[in-house]
Structure 1
């Protein structure tokens, strides 16, 4: 196996010079840098990450724990987190928990402090805060990078948080501003679950518009396409007077769009649909989905940066309260799935 020493001999420089060129550190002249790069290319040398980890006493990877890789949000988040990690010469080790089994605690027990220097959690899902605290108490920093409750950060765990309640309120206010009064909701989590902040925003906007958010107008479901389809089918069949639907996430909202069509209705002529997240498919659906964009890129980058900060603080034996990073506010992205109601609206149901 080729070593950095072999490359140095081929290039006629020291191993330290080769290391500085490959890691873009130190002061190396351009002519020398090019000579080293030609030697690397000619020899086919690839850095040994395990050896580097032993020398530097740090793992070359950061672990990223995902809820479900088939949800389009997570590949987008992973791509942004990967770019952020690479800027710091780190790689991501990805675990897809699929919301099942032990929720990822087995994965964390294997990689924490050995294969990975820190744990980035995109969505804690089935993992309890106690699980994450246990990992952290073992000496491995943990950051929850998609935390939806800015007023209630997870105790003892660093997090990057966005205002999910504001997102739900913005989405629903868009519908009330268009003149909708019969607004149902499809919430893609259990009652009181991960999307509770978004649901609170819906209810807040309904109260502000002097409209009642009736339990009969709400369906709770799983966060996937089929569940959104089924929930909207059941809701619109039971409540055919609804002229608009608030959906707490884009993936089930795509199912809602098709459910409306399957019932012989049209979006937005008969039923307007608004959602939250702004995944790539939201702009590609027909009709294109009106949604509230959350700061996905910001959450991924801030999550990686915060995790690396905690790793450095641990190395320096610094201790402090778990930091909380607040992202920028969610913003409305208006597309073709919303319009003023065409059906006759009664007076407010207050």
Structure 2
């Protein structure tokens, strides 16, 4: 493998000149820079980014820590975040904790401030005070997809009004004439999706309805769990005409379960989720959902993190509020028959 010294010998310049061509080309005469770049191409030289980071005391890399890359939402978020990081001049490193807080702590210890100049955290079981301690001695940390805009953490964050998303789902089902509605509430690495459920319940109560506890299940945040829970719920409460799921994975599991039970969607049972992942636009029937703007959230999160990196001694920026969720009507909801 070619080294920086090999390039310098081929171009007949010093190693420092090669380094300047790669990092500060404006400091090098154009004809010299052309000679160096030609030598780089001929030798197939690739700079050692880790060595550069150690020499400069910084790394052009951001870390994104998430709970499970198997969740179809996260690859969509990562794609948008990677694009935003690249536009900001950074590489993006994805750290999958596999729903294990200890793995997350190990990532923070090993990469924050060394391999990564900043860390973006999505849905974690690590306590906020631990994250604050890590940020104080390592790299800046930003929380994304924070679900409680009314109760902000002691760290910079991008907050999403998920209570509003739940309220929109309830309004939609009520407008369609549904009154007997079951709830599938996800419980993932970031905890129970209670803000979404709270928003839903609030609208129901305003309409004079109180969801029956027997028609509410708190379950793991997966398609399989949505399937199993829907089977149980429909056996327990066969009169239900609609199901609200706090995310699309649970809703998609419910669609599969209803098909297995021979219940037609939306003729017999309407189903609505939250998020609007790509699968929501691919399943049949197409899933009605409340969409969060994943791309905008990812971009705002990366931009906030980069701002903290460049202004380490500045005041902590206020929380960034994501665009409000919006209802996306598709084929899985209809007027109560």
Question: Do both proteins adopt the same fold according to a TM-score greater than 0.5, normalized to the shorter chain?
Answer: yes
Q: Could you list the per-position Cα deviations for residues 231-267 of structure 1 after superposition, in whole angstroms to 9, with x for gaps in the alignment?
A: 1111111111110111001112111101111112011
Separation in 1, partners of 2:82, 2:279: 21
C-alpha deviation, 1:312, in angstroms: 1.4
Correspondences of 1:103-142 after superposition (within 5 Å):
104-124=104-124, 126-142=125-141
Q: Could you list the per-position Cα deviations for residues 60-106 of structure 1 after superposition, in whole angstroms to 9, with x for gaps in the alignment?
A: 32221111110001111111111222223322222211213525112
C-alpha deviation, 1:145, in angstroms: 1.4
The aligned counterpart of 1:331 is 326
The aligned counterpart of 1:259 is 257
Q: TM-score if structure 2 supplies the norm length?
A: 0.90
Seen in structure 2, the aligned counterparts of structure 1 residues 304 and 13 have a Cα distance that, compared at 3 Å, is farther
Separation in 1, partners of 2:133, 2:23: 34
Q: TM-score if structure 1 supplies the norm length?
A: 0.87
Separation in 2, partners of 1:208, 1:21: 66
Work out whether 1:288 is the aligned partner of 2:286.
yes
Question: Are the aligned partners of 1:50 and 1:60 in contact in 2 as well (CA < 8 Å)?
Answer: no
The aligned counterpart of 2:336 is 341
The aligned counterpart of 1:42 is 42
Work out whether 1:59 is the aligned partner of 2:54.
no
* Worse overlay, 84-93 or 69-78: 84-93
- Structure 2's unaligned 5+ residue stretches are none
Seen in structure 2, the aligned counterparts of structure 1 residues 150 and 24 have a Cα distance that, compared at 3 Å, is farther
Seen in structure 2, the aligned counterparts of structure 1 residues 107 and 339 have a Cα distance that, compared at 3 Å, is same
The aligned counterpart of 1:347 is none
Separation in 2, partners of 1:237, 1:189: 22
Seen in structure 2, the aligned counterparts of structure 1 residues 338 and 48 have a Cα distance that, compared at 3 Å, is same
Question: Are the aligned partners of 1:148 and 1:194 in contact in 2 as well (CA < 8 Å)?
Answer: no
Question: Are the aligned partners of 2:50 and 2:115 in contact in 1 as well (CA < 8 Å)?
Answer: no
Separation in 1, partners of 2:24, 2:214: 61
- The SS at the match of 2:220 is coil
* Worse overlay, 236-245 or 105-114: 105-114
Q: How many residues align?
A: 336
- The SS at the match of 1:188 is strand
C-alpha deviation, 1:135, in angstroms: 0.5
The aligned counterpart of 2:181 is 183
- The SS at the match of 1:116 is coil
* Worse overlay, 210-219 or 8-17: 8-17
The aligned counterpart of 1:144 is 143
Q: Which residue among 234, 239, 242 is the counterpart of 1:241? A: 239
- The SS at the match of 2:102 is coil
Question: Are the aligned partners of 1:103 and 1:127 in contact in 2 as well (CA < 8 Å)?
Answer: no
C-alpha deviation, 1:6, in angstroms: 4.4
Question: Are the aligned partners of 2:101 and 2:126 in contact in 1 as well (CA < 8 Å)?
Answer: no
* Worse overlay, 103-112 or 176-185: 103-112
* Worse overlay, 12-21 or 226-235: 12-21
Q: Could you list the per-position Cα deviations for residues 208-244 of structure 1 after superposition, in whole angstroms to 9, with x for gaps in the alignment?
A: 3332222122111010011111111111111111101
Seen in structure 2, the aligned counterparts of structure 1 residues 182 and 4 have a Cα distance that, compared at 3 Å, is same
- Structure 1's unaligned 5+ residue stretches are 343-350
The aligned counterpart of 2:153 is 154
Q: Which has the higher helix share?
A: 2
Q: Could you list the per-position Cα deviations for residues 252-290 of structure 1 after superposition, in whole angstroms to 9, with x for gaps in the alignment?
A: 211110111111201111010000011111100011111
Separation in 2, partners of 1:257, 1:30: 63
Separation in 1, partners of 2:123, 2:31: 47
The aligned counterpart of 2:82 is 82
Question: Are the aligned partners of 2:162 and 2:196 in contact in 1 as well (CA < 8 Å)?
Answer: yes
C-alpha deviation, 1:54, in angstroms: 2.7
Question: Are the aligned partners of 2:185 and 2:192 in contact in 1 as well (CA < 8 Å)?
Answer: no
